[in-house]
Amino acid sequence: MTIKTQSILNFLKSAFWGLTAGFLILFFMPNSQLPVNWTKVSEMWRFYEKSSHNENKPKLTPIKMSFSDAVKKITPSVVSINVFRSQGVRYEEHLAPNEKILDVGVGFGSGIILDNRGFIVTNHHVIDKADTISVNFSDGTKRIVEVVGYDQKTDIAVLRTDKSNLTSAVIGNHLEAEKGDVVMAIGSPFGQNQSVSMGIISAITTHQFTQRIQTDAPINKGNSGGPLINSIGEVIGINQMTISSVGGGQTGINYAIPIERVIKIADDIILHGRVRRNWFGIHAIELREYEHEKFYPHIPFGSGFFINRIDPDSPASIAGLMSEDFITHIDGQAVSGVHDFYQLFYDTPIDKQIEVKIIRRNQRLTKSVKLFEMPENTSD
C-alpha cells in the first residue's frame, strides 16, 4: 500500500467518525428538530416508570384447570379391599415336628359404598375364592366384611360392613355420557393409597348380559371394582378390566360396567341372593354387510339378526322359533342387530309375554313368546 492510498483511508475514517459524532450531538440536543429528541425520550421513560409501578393496573393470573372438587366428592365413598386366600400348608426345617405355616395369598381391589346400610359393590373377580375380606375406608378405619352375593356373568359382587356413618356415592347416568367425555378412574392400584387416573370415554359397547364403557383412563391391578366418575364426581361405572399387550403393558383399552346395570344387579343380589334373569333361549349371529347382501339380498342389512341356535325347552323353542329365523321386532320395537336386541331384552320383566316379528324363508311371521326365569348355569 502506497503512502497516498494510506492517507486517503485515514481521511475517510476521520470523516466517518466525525459525521457520526455530529449526528449524535444533534440527536440528543434538548432543542433538536430531529423526529426523536432527548426531551421526548425522557418524558416517555418517566411515563413508563410510572405505569410500571401502578398497583391498580390489571394483573394476569394463570388459569387453574382441576378436577379436585370431583375427586373430593367421591373419595369418602371409595374403599380399598384386601383379600386373603389360603394357598395351603407350608413346612419349614426350623419348625418343630408338629408346627406348620398356613401360606396365605393377598389380593387387592377397590369398591364403592352404595348406601348407608353398609352395602359395598366391587368386582366378583376381586373377592373370588376369598377366605377373609378386609376393607379400608377413607377415614383410615378397617373392617372385616361379609359377602352378600355375587354374579359371575357380569363380574359383580356385593359386600356388607357393620360400620356406621357411611357416605354413599353420588350416582350419575351413563346414558348421558358420550364418546370424548372426560372420565376418571379412582382406586387403590397394587394395594397403594387411593389414586386418580384420567382419560376419555372411547366407546360404549353392548355385551350379552351387560354394557361396557370403554375408556383410555388407566385401570391397573387394584383399581378393579372402584368407580369411574365423570367430571363432576358422579359415578357412571365400575372399573372392571384392562386389555394388556404382550408383557402386560397398557394398551389404552380399559372397561367399566355402567352404574345402572351395577345397581340393578346389586339390588337383585341383596333381595334374592342372586341375579334373576329372564330367558329367551336363542344364540344369535350378526353377519358382516357383504356377507348379508350376498346370501340374503332380499332382507335390508341392519334391520335385524339371525338365530343361529335355540336351546331345548327354552321360551323360544316352545314358541316355535327356529334357527335361521331373522328377528326384526321385539314388542313392536325394531331391532337393528344383536346388540340392540340385548339392550331391549335385558330390561324386559321376567314372565312377560312378548311379540316377536321374524322373517322365515321370505315370509313375515309373528310369534308370541312367554318368557320365564333363566335356569342356573345357563347362557342365553
Q: How many domains does the chain have?
A: 4
Which residue has 389404552 as its cell numbers?
Answer: 252
> What are the cell numbers at 101?
405355616
What are phi and psi for residue 290, nearest 5 degrees? -70, -35
- In this structure, are 282 and 367 located in the same domain? yes
> What are the cell numbers at 293?
347382501
Indicate left, alpha or beta for 222 from its phi (over 0: left) and psi (-120 to 50: alpha).
left
> What are the cell numbers at 31?
432543542
Burial of 325 (0-12, 13-18, 19+ CB in 10 A): buried
- In this structure, are 83 and 126 located in the same domain? yes
What are phi and psi for residue 152, nearest 5 degrees? -70, -35
Catalytic residue (choose from 80, 151, 155, 325) = 155
Q: Kindly state whether residue 255 falls inside one of the protein's structural domains.
A: yes
Rounded CA gap, 370 and 318, in Å?
Answer: 9
Residue type at 18 in one-letter notation = G
- In this structure, are 359 and 292 located in the same domain? yes
Residue 375: closest CA among 286, 305, 325, 312: 312
CA distances from 189 to 16, 22, 133, 147, 199 (A): 77, 77, 17, 22, 16
Rounded CA gap, 165 and 179, in Å?
Answer: 36
Catalytic residue (choose from 80, 202, 224, 314) = 224
- What pairs with residue 213 in β-bridges? 204, 256
298 in active site: no
Rounded CA gap, 199 and 218, in Å?
Answer: 8
CA distances from 304 to 275, 323, 351 (A): 28, 14, 24
- In this structure, are 288 and 364 located in the same domain? yes
- What pairs with residue 120 in β-bridges? 113, 159
Domain of 195, CATH number, reads 2.40.10.10
207 in active site: no
Q: Which of 230, 260, 290 is the last residue of a domain?
A: 260
- In this structure, are 315 and 364 located in the same domain? yes
Q: Which of 200, 232, 260 is the last residue of a domain?
A: 260
DSSP annotation of 171 reads B
Domain of 325, CATH number, reads 2.30.42.10
323 in active site: no
Range of the domain at 129: 69-160
Catalytic residue (choose from 125, 207, 329, 339) = 125
- In this structure, are 151 and 191 located in the same domain? no
Q: Kindly state whether residue 25 falls inside one of the protein's structural domains.
A: yes
Q: Kindly state whether residue 165 falls inside one of the protein's structural domains.
A: no
Q: Kindly state whether residue 49 falls inside one of the protein's structural domains.
A: no
- In this structure, are 127 and 194 located in the same domain? no
pLDDT at 103: 47
Q: What is the DSSP string of 309-355?
A: EE-TTSHHHHTT--TT-EEEEETTEE--SHHHHHHHHHTSPTT-EEE
pLDDT at 41: 59
What are phi and psi for residue 363, nearest 5 degrees? -110, 135
Q: Kindly state whether residue 271 falls inside one of the protein's structural domains.
A: no
Q: What is the pLDDT along the chain (380 residues), one digit of tens a residue?
A: 566 666 666 766 766 666 666 655 555 555 555 555 556 656 666 766 666 665 665 666 666 778 889 999 999 999 999 888 776 555 555 555 555 444 456 788 899 999 889 999 999 999 998 889 999 998 889 999 999 999 988 899 999 999 988 999 999 987 788 888 999 999 877 656 678 889 999 887 766 556 788 888 888 777 889 999 999 999 999 998 766 555 555 556 788 999 988 999 999 999 988 888 888 888 888 788 888 888 888 888 888 999 999 999 999 999 999 999 999 999 889 988 887 787 777 778 888 899 999 999 889 999 999 988 888 766 55
Q: Kindly state whether residue 50 falls inside one of the protein's structural domains.
A: no
- In this structure, are 366 and 310 located in the same domain? yes
- In this structure, are 156 and 180 located in the same domain? no
Residue 118: closest CA among 84, 148, 154, 88: 148
- What pairs with residue 211 in β-bridges? 206
- In this structure, are 21 and 91 located in the same domain? no
Residue type at 283 in one-letter notation = H
- In this structure, are 207 and 251 located in the same domain? yes
Q: Kindly state whether residue 81 falls inside one of the protein's structural domains.
A: yes
Which residue has 503512502 as its cell numbers?
Answer: 3
Rounded CA gap, 275 and 264, in Å?
Answer: 9
- In this structure, are 86 and 156 located in the same domain? yes
Q: Kindly state whether residue 284 falls inside one of the protein's structural domains.
A: yes
